[in-house]
């Protein structure tokens, strides 16, 4: 799978967070959106939160966490019966 579309979109979302003044994001942090060489190893990690941001085109402060990939990683966001049905039972 070609990683460039994901990393480019991730850089775009980082830049968007910086434009909205989100803490720890710098407006000069992303110099080139289409740079094929990763700046850091964090760009290569597939994070459910980044996927949700990419899908909704929103910064993480404006996301509805119950309607995305992050829901499956944070059990507090789902009803217990839904979470229990996602995994096999060991009795």
The pLDDT of residue 9: 83
Specify burial of residue 13 (Cβ count, 10 A radius: 0-12, 13-18, 19+). Answer: buried
pLDDT, tens digit (0-9, with 9 covering 90-100), for 28-84: 887 887 777 777 777 777 778 888 888 888 888 888 877 777 776 665 666 677 767
More confident of the two residues 83 and 3: 3
**pTM for the structure as a whole:** 0.61
Contact 39, 29 (CB under 8 A): no
Distance between CA atoms of 71 and 16, rounded to whole angstroms? 23
What pLDDT digit, counting tens, does each position of 20-35 carry? 888 888 888 878 877 7
């Amino acid at each position: 799978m070609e990683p460039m579309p994901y990393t480019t979109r991730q850089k775009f979302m980082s830049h968007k967070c910086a434009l909205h003044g989100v803490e720890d994001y710098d407006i000069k942090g992303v110099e080139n959106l289409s740079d094929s060489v990763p700046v850091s190893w964090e760009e290569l990690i597939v994070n459910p939160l980044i996927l949700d941001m990419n899908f909704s085109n929103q910064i993480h402060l404006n996301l509805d966490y119950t309607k995305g990939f992050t829901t499956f990683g944070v059990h507090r966001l789902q009803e217990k019966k839904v979470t229990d049905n996602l995994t096999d039972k060991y009795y």
